[in-house]
Structure formats: structure tokens, C-alpha cells
Amino acid sequence: MDVQGTGGLPFLSGSKKSENALNKTNRQLEKILDQLATARRINSAGDDVAGNGIAEQLTTQVRGFKQASQNISDASAALDIAQGAGTEISDLRDRRHQLALQASSGTLSDSERSALNTDFQAFGQEIGRIAEVTGYNQQSLTNGSGLGPGSSQVQVGADEGNTVQLPAVNFASLAESQQGTSIATASQAQSALGTIAQALASVNQQISNLGAVIDQLGSAGDNLSAAIINSQAAESVDRDEDVATGLADLTRQQIMQEGAIRTFSRYSEITQNHILGLLQ
């Protein structure tokens, strides 16, 4: 029998439209439920192509910031160790300076100067030892090699060229420059005073350089912390679901689903009755 010719097509067409509307509502409802369950507005690129791209860029940037922050922490730890070694060496040089001043006095005997010279030499050896053994992560820090030549850089940002130069540190050369220095006689003690003064100035300058870079790294770390917070907030705004809006959308879609179900059911009933009537 020609159903189309008897006017059955409008009923079938309306039923198909109702079915399509119901399927569309179900898909939208499933998407909203997924967003509410994950608390994320974007769970796949299909949810928002442009928004997903921006969110992924922000995610990559945050990861870069976090790695740069770890780089800063590692570098700061290394420089703290180097600065600590420099402070200890400076203290030892101060002690040698005091011994040289004492040995310069004409009231001392040569035997007393010899005793002072024993301590003087021991302190010099300790300075050299500290300069040679101080290191971080199996790299030398204070003898001009490893991290000490002044050529090492720390990546402190997520972009190319965002680096901080580590300072040159070489306390070992100062120890070597004073090898053979003695305070066993008054004249030798006088000569040692000038050498020690130069060494003290160099040590203190290197310690100041270390402190300046440590402060620079601290500022870079503070800036990264703020950048991480701001980038995560921006990503959250772009990617995360507004729960209040999501609940409102859920209610609306549930109402639409209920209406679509009723409409589809009614069209199916009408279509079935119409076809049965035509067949009688």
C-alpha cells in the first residue's frame, strides 16, 4: 500500500525529527553530566577547539615554569654551598691575617713566631682543601672548574634565552698564590700582610658576587611563583566548568529530554495507529 500517497509521510517525518531531537538532547545531557563529574568545561578538543588549544598552551607554560623554578632551587642550593665555603675561607684568612700581625711585632722571639707559623701554614692548607673539595652534584664549585669558571647558565624561564649567568668562583687560585708565604720572621710576616690583604679582598668580592646572583635567582623564583599561579588561574577559567551554570544547563536539558521523550512517544503512537488504520 502506498503510505506516502495516503498522507502517512508527515507522521513518519515528525517521528524521525522527534527521534533526532531526543538523540541530540541525550548527547548534550551526557556532555553536561561529564563536565559536572570532572568539574571541567573542556574534556576533549571537541568541546571547544579554540579554548582547548589555549588551555593546552597554558598547561605547557605552567610545566615550563615549574621546571624553571626547580632549576632555580638547584642553582640557589649550589651557590649557597659556594657562599658558605667562601665565608669559611674568609674567616681562615682573617685568622692568618691576625697571626701575621702578631708575628710582625718585635716583642716576639723567633721560636714564638715559628709556633705561630705552624698555625699559619695549617690554615693555608685548610683554605686550599676547602676550595678543592667544595662541590654540588659531583661538580666543583670553588676551584674555577665545574660550575666555577663563570660560563654556566641557569634556565630561569620557559622561553629561550631566559637565563642567569653563574659567577666565576676560584678560591683555589688564592690559596696557590700564597704558597710559600711564611711568618717565621718579622720581615716575612710584614710581607705576608700585603699578600693576605689582597687575598681577603678577592675572597670578599667573590662572596659578594655569589650573594648578588643568589638574590637575582630569588627574584626570578618569586616571579615564577606568581606566573605559575596566574597561568593556572587563566587555565582554570578557560578549562574548568562553572558548576552553577552547569547545573542550570543540566536542568534545562533534563526538561528538554523529558519533552523529547514524550513527543517521540506520542509520534510513535500516532504513526503506529495511522499505519494500522491504513492496513485495515
Tens digits of pLDDT across the chain (280 residues): 444 444 444 544 555 655 566 566 666 556 655 554 555 555 555 555 566 667 678 788 889 999 999 999 999 999 999 999 999 999 999 999 999 999 999 999 989 999 999 999 999 999 999 999 999 999 999 999 999 999 999 999 988 899 999 999 999 988 877 788 999 999 999 999 999 998 889 999 999 999 999 999 999 999 999 988 888 777 666 555 544 555 455 566 556 556 556 665 655 555 555 555 555 5
- 54 and 152, same domain (yes or no): yes
- 246 and 235, same domain (yes or no): no
pLDDT of residue 108: 93
pLDDT of residue 61: 86
Please identify which residue in the block is written with the cell numbers 711564611.
182
- 257 and 128, same domain (yes or no): no
- 267 and 246, same domain (yes or no): yes
Q: How many domains does the chain have?
A: 2
- 160: domain CATH number is 1.20.1330.10
In a domain, 95, yes or no: yes
In a domain, 264, yes or no: yes
For the record, the C-alpha cell of 91 comes out as: 674567616
- 160 and 25, same domain (yes or no): no
- 183 and 275, same domain (yes or no): no
Helices (H) and strands (E) in the chain, counts: 6, 4
- 28 and 150, same domain (yes or no): no
The parent domain of residue 76 ranges over 49-239
| Integer-rounded Cα radius of gyration of the chain | 40
Q: Establish how many alpha carbons lie within 13 A of residue 200's alpha carbon, considering only the half-sphere containing its beta carbon.
A: 14
- 148 and 258, same domain (yes or no): no
Q: Are 4 and 276 in contact (CB under 8 A)?
A: no
In a domain, 16, yes or no: yes
**167-213, pLDDT tens digit by residue?**
999 999 888 777 889 999 999 999 999 999 988 899 999 999 999 99
In a domain, 269, yes or no: yes
pLDDT of residue 190: 93
In a domain, 190, yes or no: yes
pLDDT of residue 180: 84
Q: Are 132 and 89 in contact (CB under 8 A)?
A: no
- 158 and 184, same domain (yes or no): yes
Using CA atoms, how far apart are residues 173 and 199, in angstroms rounded to an integer?
A: 10
In a domain, 220, yes or no: yes
- 68 and 178, same domain (yes or no): yes
pLDDT of residue 54: 74
- 186 and 81, same domain (yes or no): yes
In a domain, 70, yes or no: yes
Name the helix (H) or strand (E) containing 161: none
- 87 and 223, same domain (yes or no): yes
pLDDT of residue 159: 86
In a domain, 44, yes or no: no
